[in-house]
Each structure stands twice: as C-alpha cells, then as structure tokens.
Amino acid sequence: MTVAGAAVRPDRIARGIAFILLSTFCTASQDAIFKYASADLTLWQLYVLRSLFVIPVFLVIASLWGEGLGAWHQSLRLWPMTRAMLFVLMFFSMYAAIPILPLTAIAAGLYTAPLFIAALSPVLLREPLRWRGALGIAVGFAGVLVILRPGTEAFTWLMLLPVLGGLFYALSAIVTRSKCRTVAPSTLSLSLAIALLITGVVASIWLQAHQFTAEQVAISPFLLGSWNALGVWEWGFIAVLAALMAGNGLVLPAAYQSAPSVIIATFDYTYLIFATLLSIVVFGNIPDLQTIIGIAMIAGAGPIVAR
C-alpha cells in the first residue's frame, strides 16, 4: 500500500492529536452506554436504530460540505466500505464480550490496536518504525499480557475477542490512512452507518428465522435475543449513541487523515484512561493493582512510540 493523496493534504499533527483525544472520549462513553444497555437491548437492535438516526445527519453534513448526494456513491465504493466492514468486525468482536467482561479488560484487549498499527505501518504504509517504536510495542504488549493474565484462573478465552477487535481496528486505521485519506469524514461515517444498518437488519432477520430456544438465548442475550419494546430511557440511550457516533464518525477518520498513523495510535491510548474512569464511576469496577500496572505500561508505551 502507498499513502494516497499525501501531496494533496499535508500532515497537521496538532489537529490530528486533538481529534483523536475527542474520539477516544466519545468511544469510551459509547462503550459504557453499550454495556449499560446490554441487559435490555440487543446489539442488532442498537445497530439498526442508531444507524437510522445518524444516516440523515451524515447526509446533511455531506450536503453542507459540498458533496451532496455524491456522498452516497462515494460511501459505497470499495475502500470506504472495506474500512466500514473492518469496523463492523471490530464492534462485533468487542461487543460480544461487553456484557460479561469489565470495561477495563475490554479496553485493554481492544487497545492492542495501536500496537498492531505501529507494527504493521512499516510494512503496509512504508512509515518508518525505529528501535524506540519497537521497544514501545514490546512494552505495550507486555502491559496487555499483565492485564489479561493468560495461564491464570483470571484469564478467559473471551478476553481474546477484544484483542481480535484491536486487529480489525488497526487494519481499518491503516485503510483510512492509505486508501481513504482524501475522502471526506462525513462520507466515511456514512459508509460505516450503512454497513452497521445492513449488518443489523441481516442479523435480526437471521435470528428471527432460526428461533433459538430460551436456553440458547440465555447464553448471550445481547447477541441472540429478540428486539425489545423501547421506553423513554431506551430511546434516550439510542439518541445519545447516535450523537456519539456522529461526532466520533467525523473526528476519528479526520485524525488518521491529519497525521501519521503511529502518532495518532500513540494518543489513541487515552481511551484506556477514559474507559477506566467510566468503569469506576458508572459500574463501580475498581481495577486491581495488576490491572493498573498493565494500563500504566500500555500508556507509557505511547510516548516511546511517538519519539
């Protein structure tokens, strides 16, 4: 892969960092709401209803930015849809475990993504990674192992799902940087909303056709359950999720379009801080000392890579 449009759009590193900080806050807030709502709603119901909220918003934004209905055609092209489907796979990997695992553990697994980005960028993007970057990757990955604790009773195979999500996130970021750098963020966000809508509709129809038993649904009601009636609180959750998706859908691609992937991936680690704080405040899950040490190792790896 080569970086498309590098001569057209120069790097704006400060802008990219500001965007990724806002993105990590939106993402952590969104994940906390998903975890909170997972007891009453299904993943596919949230996908469909949230997408129906945000697709008109992205079309309006595209019109204001001069793309108009052309955003539809752009959003359905190969690379924007490839990026969107990688995000869909990331969400599925992460949200499959979100009703069960603490938000901090999910954050740690998912945020192997910056490590994957830093490791893959020299190969796929030809962006150099020197010895400090390699050291940062090693320290960050060691921090993930400290949190996940493979080989102990605290470890479950479900913890690997967010790690798989991290790989999909890394690939989506690389596609953004290499193939979608000159595509408007609103168009990329529209692609994601369309992909989520299609995924939610197809999964809902498939589940309805298979009619799982109550015992099977009980294994993972968030993934296998039927749509539920919505009250005021549930509609409020969906509205907030739509707002967060709209905001994050604009700033996240803009971040990776504005600065080198390795630098943005470094500040992507701030998600761990936001997720940990929300896990404590909203769910009362206070991380133990080993988790705190692991988070510190992952966060400390960021500046090493940045240098």
**Domains in the chain, number:** 1
Domain annotation covers residue 4: no
Residue labelled with tokens 């991290």: 166
pLDDT for 219: 79
Q: Which residue intervals of the chain are DSSP H helices?
A: 13-37, 43-64, 70-75, 78-95, 103-110, 113-124, 131-148, 160-179, 185-210, 214-219, 221-224, 232-258, 261-267, 270-283, 289-306
| Mean pLDDT, range 262-271, rounded to an integer | 76
Domain annotation covers residue 201: yes
Q: Average pLDDT of the chain?
A: 83
Question: How does residue 10 score in pLDDT terms, banded at 50, 70 and 90?
Answer: low
| Mean pLDDT, range 185-201, rounded to an integer | 91
Q: What does the buried/exposed string (b/e) look like for 47-71 if buried means 16 or more CB atoms within 10 Å of the residue's CB?
A: bbbbbebbbebbbebbeeeebeeeb
- What the block records as the tokens of 217 is 């649904």
Distances (CA, A) of 11 to 15, 18, 65, 113, 251: 9, 13, 21, 22, 15
Q: What does the buried/exposed string (b/e) look like for 199-221 if buried means 16 or more CB atoms within 10 Å of the residue's CB?
A: bbeebbeebeeeeeeeeebeebb
Domain annotation covers residue 259: yes
On the question of pLDDT at 180 being above 70, the answer is: yes
Rounded (10°) angle between helices 113-124 and 160-179? 40
pLDDT for 4: 43
pLDDT for 7: 45
Q: Would you call 287 helix, strand, or coil by DSSP?
A: coil
On the question of pLDDT at 66 being above 80, the answer is: no
State how far the Cα of 144 lies from the Cα of 108, in Å rounded to an integer.
Answer: 6
- What the block records as the tokens of 182 is 């000159």
| Mean pLDDT, range 238-248, rounded to an integer | 89
pTM of the predicted model over 0.75: yes
For residues 46 and 7, which has the higher predicted lDDT (pLDDT)?
Answer: 46
Q: How far apart, in Å, do the first and last CA atoms of the chain sit?
A: 24
Domain annotation covers residue 8: no
For residues 34 and 11, which has the higher predicted lDDT (pLDDT)?
Answer: 34
Rounded (10°) angle between helices 103-110 and 270-283? 170
Q: Would you call 274 helix, strand, or coil by DSSP?
A: helix
State how far the Cα of 195 lies from the Cα of 241, in Å rounded to an integer.
Answer: 16
State how far the Cα of 109 lies from the Cα of 92, in Å rounded to an integer.
Answer: 14
What single-letter DSSP state applies at residue 39? T
Contact 217, 224 (CB under 8 A): yes
State how far the Cα of 201 lies from the Cα of 49, in Å rounded to an integer.
Answer: 10
State how far the Cα of 217 lies from the Cα of 254, in Å rounded to an integer.
Answer: 39
Most confident of 42-56, 208-222, 223-237: 42-56
Q: Which domain holds residue 73?
A: 13-306
